[in-house]
Amino acid sequence: MTVVLTLDLGTNGARAGVFDLDARRLIGKAEAGYPTHHLPPNRAEQDPDDWWRALGQAVRAALAESGRPAIGAITVATFSSTVVAADRAGRPLAPAILWMDARAAAEAAESESIEHPVLHYSGGSNAVEWLVPKAMWLARHQPDLWARTEVICEALDFVNYRLTGEWAGSLMNATCKWNYDSRARAFCPDLYERFGVPELARRLPQRIVEIGGVIAPLRTDVARDWGIEGSPPVVQGGIDAHMGSFGADCIMPGSMLLIGGTSNVHITQVPDDGAPVAGVWGPYPHALTPGLRMIEGGQVSAGSILKWLSQDIFGIGNDDLPALLAAAGAIDPAETRLLALDFWMGNRTPYRDARLRGAFLGLSLSHDRAAIYRAAVTAVALGAANVVFDLERQGVAIDRIVIAGGIMRNPLWLQATVDAIGKPVGLAPDDNLTLYGNAVAAAVGLGLWPDLETAARNLAVPVSMLAPDPARHARYRRLLAQYRRAVDLLAPLLHGLADGTLEDAT
């Protein structure tokens, strides 16, 4: 039997899974957490050494549970756009800038006025979360740090370097977040020069490896420290949510994976015909699989809003959350007389506006915690539906949707999302979809299947179906019209609040 080690570095912690490719299931799993440091007004950072400690802790525990230290291959997925400034030996020179950090909004906005062919792959401009605007910010605001930086990379590259001693970027991350030309398989130094960071082209990992490609063997000292026999190959992975597309077998046009978690991510693929799609990240050629273009939509804040509201504002712990969900679930979303906007950290799709902010409209003294929570759930659900409907309006086929992630543990949020979208959806009951997707890549790296599509068909998790309520869907449609109107009316005010220039908001 062949087992592979699959690692997932997420916003709140690291997960490790030992996956049996013959049994097609996880036989060992563990996780370990690490803190995020939120700094005003819109910054978020983590310590890369915390990631490494958490990974080691999770791997040792997962291996102990499985009893299988002879690993065939290792694949890593991580959150994207979490940027590390390091020296050539992989030592971080500063805290990592987390994906949700919006400090580089001005730098991202500059790309909107630049015409370059590779920007067509990302909807015409860069997003505030991505590596390139963050590198621009470092060069301008921390020039001493930038001068000492020998490698600028993402969390995935940092972890893979620690595993192998080789700097190797993922074709997925490079295409989606670095303005890398995946058709020419080349960086674009002329574009970086126009951004004011000409040195970026030589500081990024120079070797770009497609998903399922072998990077290098595991370092012997890491194998010894983690309790792994031999030096199995480390196979290239990618962005955590996107790797889940393999675990859900959602990689062909017409299918969409919706990961509901701290943020929401909507991933689908379209034919490689060059047709543009507005308001999304992409379409990215060959980023997920050869011959297709990947579209990435999403909501920056989703489950994080609900957690913030229940825990930080209401002071409700996990034990008391079911009572809040029951009370909120008894309220018809159209009868709260509340409207919320889900832009706590800006909007990704379809507005691509980092300066939008969250709002509750219509509050009165008669509203209680359940009504406010219900309005927040409705806002997140409407935001998800808004992504789907906008893609369909542009001709993107969405015939099959699979939902996975932390949303599965919140039945109110889950049903609201399905009702708002108005389509039957498949539910991936296993919350380890990324770990399954990594196993697909590892299996291809080992040569056990000829390509990612075949491996995904053989290893994907089974799904159950959940249907929408037609009456509730009709009400959500009416609420969505109010939601969109509120965005149009409030955007100038929200921009001023985000900028701290309310008196001259535009």
- pLDDT at position 124, please? 84
Residue 297 pLDDT > 70, yes or no?
yes
Average pLDDT score over residue span 204-208: 99
Average pLDDT score over residue span 326-339: 94
Count the Cβ atoms, other than its own, within 10 Å of residue 35.
Answer: 11
- pLDDT at position 186, please? 97
pLDDT tens by residue, 32-63 = 999 999 998 889 999 999 999 999 999 999 99
- pLDDT at position 241, please? 87
The amino acid occupying position 156 is L
Residue 506 pLDDT > 70, yes or no?
no
Q: Which residue has the higher pLDDT, 429 or 325?
A: 325
Burial class (CB in 10 A: 0-12, 13-18, 19+), 81: buried
User: Lowest-pLDDT range, 107-111, 118-122, 398-402, 416-420?
Assistant: 118-122
- pLDDT at position 504, please? 54
Q: pTM for this one?
A: 0.87
User: What's the CA gap between 217 and 164, in Å, rounded?
Assistant: 6
Average pLDDT score over residue span 377-397: 97
Average pLDDT score over residue span 346-374: 95
Whole-number mean pLDDT of the chain?
95
User: Lowest-pLDDT range, 145-149, 237-241, 340-344, 351-355?
Assistant: 351-355
Structure tokens, 345: 């950290």
User: What's the CA gap between 456 and 439, in Å, rounded?
Assistant: 9
- pLDDT at position 356, please? 95
Among 245, 288, 289, residue whose Cα is nearest residue 437: 245
Among 288, 257, 261, residue whose Cα is nearest residue 272: 288
pLDDT tens by residue, 431-477 = 789 999 999 999 999 999 999 999 999 999 989 999 999 999 999 99
Domains of the chain in start order, with CATH, are 3-238 (3.30.420.40), 249-430+462-506 (3.30.420.40)
Main-chain phi, psi angles of 194, to 5 degrees: -65, -25
